[in-house]
Homo-oligomer: A and B are copies of this chain.
Amino acid sequence: MSEENKNLEHKRHTLAHLLAAAVLVEYPHAKLTLGPAIDHGFYYDIDFSAGETPGDEDLKKIQKHMKKMLSAWTSFDHKEVSADEARGVFAGNDFKLELINEIENKGETITLYTAGAGTKAEFTDLCRGGHSENPAEEISADAFKLDKIAGAYWRGDEKNPMLTRIYGLAFDTKDELDAYLTQLEEAKKRDHRKLGKELGLFSFSELVGPGLPLWSPKGTTFRREIDRFVTELRQEKGYELVTIPHIAKKALYEASGHWQKYSEDLFKVRAKEGDDHDEYVLKPMNCPHHTQIFDAEPRSYKELPQRYAETTMVYRAEQSGELSGLTRVLSITQDDAHVFCRETQLREEIEAIWDIVDSFYGKFGFELKVRLSFHDPEKKEKYLGESSTWEETEGMMKTIAQARGADYFIGIGEAAFYAPKLDFMASDSIGRTHQVATIQLDRLLPERFDLTCINESGEKERIIMIHAAIAGSLERFAAVLIEHLAGNFPLRFAPVQLAIIPVADVHNKYATDVYTTLKAAGYRVEIDTSNDSMGKKIRSAKKNKLPYFIVIGDQEVENNTLTLESRDNESNETITLENLLHKFAEENN
């Protein structure tokens, strides 16, 4: 972490203390528990007495206390105390007592931190440290803001009591806070859950269950076009589609090693009532199945690389409390692909996947940064295989990144234990960063499944695998894309591409002819012959974020033309049907 980041984190941590101190002014019976710095700010988890729990409307009051007390916090001192001493200070607070006992049992030092010592704002908390030395001076009183209240289990465990979590936002300057608030505001308008409903893309059903989205015809068109786009880009690079079922015997995951590591997070499947052994597993990923297609017959080196792509759902058991919109779902559609190749083919295959990633994210205007996730040469024991192999592969990855002029950085220790990877990060239109595609090399599964090819010398040669999802999870990518574009999808990806609006009934015939021609050309067109007013029809097309609409009145019928209006600007254009078809053909890919 940079010095600058560390300072900001100290400020946020300090503000968590300040929040706690301010809460006690208003709610003297509240029991404090834990309050860390987090991304964009801080929080504190507090156990309020029954009937005393504050609501969002109380935040202003608490914040006022914070600002007042801040000016008195010119120092932050600490002292080491014995466990008994600490227990004395926090007598009656079971949460703090639990923490003290734990520190004592670990034989660690117990420290108390006091801010504003000797003033009316004096406040002491059990803490490991990491604060601003002079909060009054360092922290700008208008660069933080209490944000919201939520529930949280003590130590995140649902078996524990529910506490009240108060969140705050904090930055170095008011400008940064304001910019973040604007981003939040903008993100709220673009929230994919809200837009998804407004645009009729997907829904949830209580009977089906949370985290299990149901995609309407419109949503399915949108998903399908994303998927087709990936498939086309892959086809150019020689990828072929395969098909696997969604379940497998537990034996498959024992062989892959997933059972030993992740069995808690797997959905187990069983057939008969009362049958208590888990015969099948709902697949959490596709690689083990794909190895079995590769391994269905002996492979000559001449057949390599084998490049298998498949868009298919995987299932991972999440707590239902963690499910949200399309970003946390139980059914994850992966546009997955696995390359089975020789070590000598690795570079070319990585470059091909990188090309696909660039084309895909570039299409939607995302800016990509890539992390070269390498092993940590100081912790060789954590990694599988020879150092020289690691270094060679990582060197090659770096060479590719440089040759492409990619915006990259190196993440030491970020590799999987079995091979390095490339992690792509996309910046969206409101400045947020999303981790997207990954190119993961894999020398482990080929070992575990004994995957080989017969080489030029007639000998078995161990092959290497590459995991290469592009959109990754279609659900999560759809959420990111909806918010990035605020629902204004490019022509190809728009569920409905054009609305035809006849001004009056006499224009219906001409409008219908235009409709039929566009439909026959494969476009997704709607015609609005309802009795609604022109204004209402146009507003409806705009509300549904259709890329284009055409209005057909006397003039259009007379001149055999169309008046085309675009979602993206207010101007309109007179165009012949023929030219519209040309325009669409050019834009629709």
Contact = CB atoms under 8 A, between A and B. Distances in A.
A240 B217 contact: yes
B224 A241 contact: yes
A248 B295 CA distance: 33
A216 interface: yes
Interface stretch (A77-85, A206-214, A412-420): A206-214
A213 B245 contact: yes
A315 interface: yes
A269 interface: yes
Contact of A220 (B209, B213, B242): B242
B214 A255 contact: no
Contact of A330 (B217, B219, B245, B282): B245
A331 interface: yes
Contacts of A205: 252, 292, 295-296
A293 B214 contact: yes
Interface string A257-280: 000000110011111110010001
Contact of A214 (B217, B220, B242, B317): B242
Given A240-B217, A282-B269, A317-B271, A245 B292 contact: no
A8 B270 CA distance: 44
| Interface class of chain A by DSSP | mixed
Contacts of A579: none
B282 A248 contact: no
A265 B245 CA distance: 18
A126 B353 CA distance: 72
Contacts of A241: 217, 220-221, 224
Interface string A235-250: 0000011111111110
Nearest to A253: B207
Contacts of A292: 203, 205, 207-208, 214
Among A217, A276, A313, residue most surrounded by chain B Cβ atoms (within 10 Å): A217
Given A220-B241, A264-B273, A267-B271, A331 B247 contact: yes
Contacts of A242: 214-217, 220
Contacts of A263: 273
Contact of A289 (B208, B251, B269, B296): B208
A192 interface: no
Contacts of A206: 251
Contacts of A216: 242, 293, 296
A523 interface: no
A583 B110 CA distance: 85
A264 B206 CA distance: 24
Interface residues of A, number: 57
Given A242-B216, A269-B269, A293-B203, A208 B308 contact: no
A48 to B, nearest CB: 31
A223 interface: yes
A318 to B, nearest CB: 8
A369 B60 CA distance: 76
A422 to B, nearest CB: 26
Contacts of A293: 203, 214-216
A244 B273 contact: no
Contact of A331 (B207, B220, B246): B246
Interface in A30-84: none
A248 B267 CA distance: 13
A581 B252 CA distance: 45
A255 B209 CA distance: 13
Among A240, A289, A293, residue most surrounded by chain B Cβ atoms (within 10 Å): A293
A315 B243 contact: no
A48 B135 CA distance: 93
Given A270-B268, A292-B214, A317-B271, A220 B240 contact: yes
Nearest to A212: B245
28 contacts: A203-B297, A205-B292, A205-B295, A207-B252, A207-B292, A208-B248, A208-B249, A208-B252, A209-B280, A214-B244, A214-B289, A214-B292, A214-B293, A215-B242, A215-B243, A220-B240, A220-B242, A220-B243, A224-B241, A243-B333, A245-B331, A246-B313, A247-B267, A247-B315, A264-B272, A270-B270, A272-B317, A276-B276
The 3 closest A-B pairs by CB, nearest first: A245-B331, A217-B240, A271-B317
Given A212-B247, A245-B331, 14 more contacts: A203-B296, A205-B292, A212-B245, A214-B243, A214-B244, A215-B243, A217-B308, A220-B241, A220-B243, A243-B333, A245-B313, A246-B331, A247-B267, A247-B282
